[in-house]
Amino acid sequence: MATVGLCAGCAPKADKVIALSFDDGPNTTTTVKMLDMLEKHDVVGSFFVIGNNINDESAEIMKRAYKMGCDIENHSRTYTAMASLSGGQIQEEIKYTSDLIEKYIGKRPEFFRPPYISVAPHMYDNIDLTFICGQGCNDWEATTTVEQRAEMVINNAADGQIVLLHDFVGNEATVEALDIIIPELKKQGYRFVTVPELFKLKKITPDHSKMYTNVLHRWHLTLPHREWRGEHPRILAQ
């Protein structure tokens, strides 16, 4: 594949940081391959896990990620569009997953990615974690090729950005895309960090009333009520 996103003669900017994030694990197949790829390139990422996917076997993969320097965050218990749930149901979704994360790695999550990026004001009232979105590459669609995934991530990369990827079972195309994405963005001067590190390095205090795709910009999603249906639609700045 031809090099994309890097103009001839452009010197990489210093101290550009970006966070890779992965939804829908943990599992003992694709998540393992994602971790192998991160280790191959000596980088870390953030894993947003689904509570119902956590068991004694998959938890070992989660522990491995944490020991590598990755962080483990909350992606709900059942992967339900939570804007339609009651406050009590929302709290149960979050608590169940956060409790399991703490049980297995000894640390509670700080961040939450809403399933389907479905949000409503009462979710912010019932979830005490910072909401995270991310710059996606349509990698939940099997028709998106390895090269297309890589190009979308590389061409849209920005300092302070959170990249939204998936480690659900069978998503090996994203594993392969990482083998293109990581070396190219390193060449452009990017350093890979976790989502918590991204906030700290940019000296940004997470605002629990906002949802972030880039820590240097904030999405105002509490008002008015918004709910997105379908997989990870594009979000426009307010």
CB 82 within 8 A of CB 211: no
CA distance 228 to 117: 6
* Rg of the chain, C-alpha, whole Å: 17
- Catalytic-labelled residue, pool 24, 71, 166, 167: 166
CB atoms within 10 A of CB 183: 11
CA distance 237 to 227: 15
Between helix 30-40 and helix 56-67 the angle, nearest 10°, is: 10
CA distance 26 to 120: 26
Helix (H, G, I), strand (E, B) or coil at 20: strand
CA 232 → CA 118, 140, 175, distances in Å? Answer: 9, 9, 19
CA distance 93 to 95: 6
- Catalytic-labelled residue, pool 23, 24, 71, 139: 23
Active-site residue flag, 166: yes
Q: Which residues contact 163 (CB under 8 A, 6 or more apart)?
A: 18, 19, 20, 21, 134, 135, 136, 137, 153, 157
Indicate which residues carry an active-site annotation: 23, 166
